[in-house]
Amino acid sequence: MSDRELRVSKIRNGTVIDHISAGQALNVLAILGIDAGSGETVSVGMRVPSDRLGSKDIVKVEGRELSQDEVDVLSLIAPAATINIVREFDVVEKHRVERPSEVVGVLSCPNPHCVTTEDEPVESRFDVLDDGIRCSYCDTIVRDGIAEQIDVA
Amino acid sequence: MRHDHIISAKQLSRADIEEVLDRAAEMDADPETFADRHGNALLGLLFFEPSTRTKMSFTAAVKRLGGDVVDLGTVESSSVKKGESLADTVRVVEGYADALVLRHPSEGSAQMASEFVDVPLINAGDGAGQHPTQTLLDLYTIRESAGFDDLTIGIMGDLKYGRTVHSLAHALTTVDADQHFVSPESLQLPRNVRYDLHEEGASIREHTELEPVLPELDVLYVTRIQAERFPDESEYRAVAGEYQIDAETLEAARDDLTVMHPLPRVDEIAHDIDETDHAHYFQQAHSGVPVRMALLDLVLGGDR
């Protein structure tokens, strides 16, 4: 990306999530639990031209690295995403997301009768299928709208 | 059989099923021999929903093995009423018992509870999820009356919310049964069950009427369609009537058709069937004791 096209500023320390499927940036923020009240410095680019994807979203978060659980869920809604860890303006680590066999936490089960939606000391857990995810507790399958299950509570 | 917990029919292999049923048959034939087999065993009963036959037959089963029960009692009279989590309740009660039996209205509750305890936990029904011990006694009746070879079975009624149906359908894939599902469109099999049956390569067909498929069946498994699943009473009445059978209905069936029902029934099987050779539902309910004896024997370490 040339300087002329650069729409968001560089970050000093934190994470750049690049090659997010176009339109999914706000869901990525939700996965990270970032909203108006969170306090992080965040830059978001939506529908930025991309050689690889045509158009893409990009999220830069200052002072924040991602947990494995967050990366796992991210891979479901942005399978082509790359994660760049930045320290002192340099990318010190760069990797693509991989589709995990299960995701723990971050998402909530859409079945209102699922035990994970109750006040029990248990995190949500989903097996990852070829074309969706499946609650490891109640067996409910989610195919479309995985992003809608991001637990923003 | 090597399972710490009995959570879902999906975990049971054909060999597991045959092992339980074989032992149940031994116990059924000669219960006296097993009368002191688990003389000190205490079974913890945690029923968060009403139950008659499941709770009574588990109680009878452990007593017939020489053991006894410790019972949480009704939810209203227990610490659950004070807001205790299920995870805490099972961790406390496992200290009082050698194995636990759990019925709970939430789907996945048995799976979650099993992650918090070291003693064997048996799922006696988790919401609209699974009911694997009912499945084992259903299979016991099917094996006795029709056998597992070339089995063609019709499963009719509320296939969406009926947990006995979900468990049974999974288990029937292990014996390669041809399964016909008969229900109103609004109560067809849920997506997750259909997904599993498809993954298992099961032979299933779905129908909205019994009539075309009835003559092919070795077994007809009938379940209750509940009024609360419908927006209003008249719609329920219109639909439910389509899935009731009586002696006249069965004139089109094979002479050796086995009719089953997990009970309680309301009016989906007319009383005029009770006296025919088709009726196996009371025998099915009675087998709950030997089958649960066999299962308890296996989870309590009764290997010889």
Q: Which of A74, A72, A25, A76 is nearest to A48 (CA)?
A: A25
Task: Output DSSP code: residue A114.
Answer: B
B87 lies within 8 A of chain A by CB: yes
- Tens of pLDDT, residues B38-92: 999 999 999 999 888 899 999 999 999 999 999 988 777 776 767 899 999 999 9
Q: Categorize the per-residue pLDDT at A3 as very low, low, confident or very high, splitting at 50, 70 and 90.
A: low
Give the residue from chain B lying closest to A135, CA to CA.
Answer: B108
Looking at residues B274-284, what average pLDDT do you find? 97
Q: Average pLDDT over chain B, rounded to whole?
A: 93
The pTM score is 0.90
Same fold, A3-96 and A102-149: no
Fold of the CATH domain A102-149: SH3 type barrels. (2.30.30)
B112 touches chain A (CB under 8 A): yes
What number does CATH give the domain A3-96?
3.30.70.140
By Cβ distance, the residue of B127, B192, B195 closest to A113 is B127
Q: Which of A119, A134, A136 sits opposite B85 (nearest CB)?
A: A119
What pLDDT shows up at residue B303?
52
Which residues in chain B have their CB less than 8 angstroms from residue A111's CB?
107
CA nearest A137 in B: which residue? B108
A-B contacts at Cβ under 8 angstroms: 56
Alpha-carbon span B295 to B159, nearest angstrom: 26
Q: Between chains, do B191 and A141 touch, taking CB under 8 Å as contact?
A: yes
pLDDT band at A46 (very low <50, low <70, confident <90, very high): very high
For tokens 């390669």, what's the residue? Answer: B176
pLDDT for B200: 92
Q: Which residues of A touch B127 (CB under 8 A)?
A: 113, 138
Q: Is pLDDT of B103 > 50?
A: yes
Distance (Å) from the alpha carbon of A141 to chain B's nearest alpha carbon: 6
Question: Does B105 contact chain A (CB < 8 Å)?
Answer: yes
Mutate to test the interface with A, among B112, B131, B229 (most CBs of A within 10 A): B112
Largest CA distance in chain A: 52
**What was the pLDDT predicted at B160?**
92
Residue B153 carries which side chain, given as an amino acid letter?
I
pLDDT digits (tens, 9 = 90+) for A67-116: 999 999 999 999 999 999 999 999 999 999 999 999 999 999 999 999 99
Distance CA B276, CA B245 (A): 13
Q: Is the pLDDT of residue A28 over 90?
A: yes
What average pLDDT does the segment A13-40 reach? 94
Of B109, B127, B195, the CB nearest to A141: B195
**CB contact residues (below 8 A), chain A span 65-124, against chain B:** 111, 113-116, 118-122
* Sequence-ordered strand ranges (E) for A8-104: 14-21, 42-50, 54-62, 82-87, 90-96, 102-104
Domain borders along chain A are 3-96, 102-149
On the question of pLDDT at B157 being above 90, the answer is: yes
Contact with chain A for residue B302, Cβ under 8 A: no
pLDDT single digits (tens) B282-297: 999 999 999 999 999 9
Question: B304 falls in which pLDDT band (50, 70, 90)?
Answer: very low
- For residues B70 and B55, give the distance between their C-alpha atoms in angstroms, rounded to a whole number: 12
| Rounded mean pLDDT, B113-133 | 96
Residues from chain A that touch B129, judged by Cβ atoms under 8 A, are: 138-139
Q: Judge: A137–B104 Cβ closer than 8 Å, yes or no.
A: no
Full set of structural domains in chain B with CATH: 9-130+288-299 (3.40.50.1370), 133-285 (3.40.50.1370)
Q: Find the helix or strand (DSSP H, E) in which A125 lies.
A: strand A125-129
Of B106, B191, B192, the CB nearest to A115: B106
Cβ(B98)–Cβ(B300) below 8 Å: yes
CB contact under 8 A, B111 and A121: no
Q: Are A59 and A17 in contact (CB under 8 A)?
A: yes
Using CA atoms, how far apart are residues B71 and B91, in angstroms rounded to an integer? 15
A151 inside 8 A of chain B by CB: no
End-to-end CA distance of chain A: 36
Substitution target in A104, A109, A113 with the highest count of B β-carbons within 10 Å is: A113
Give residue B209's pLDDT.
96
B104 touches A at CB < 8 Å? yes
> Any idea which residues of B carry the catalytic annotation?
53-54, 82, 103, 131
Rounded distance between C-alpha atoms, residue B137 and residue B290, angstroms: 9
Mean pLDDT, residues A17-38 taken together: 94
Phi, psi of B9 (to 5 degrees): -65, -20
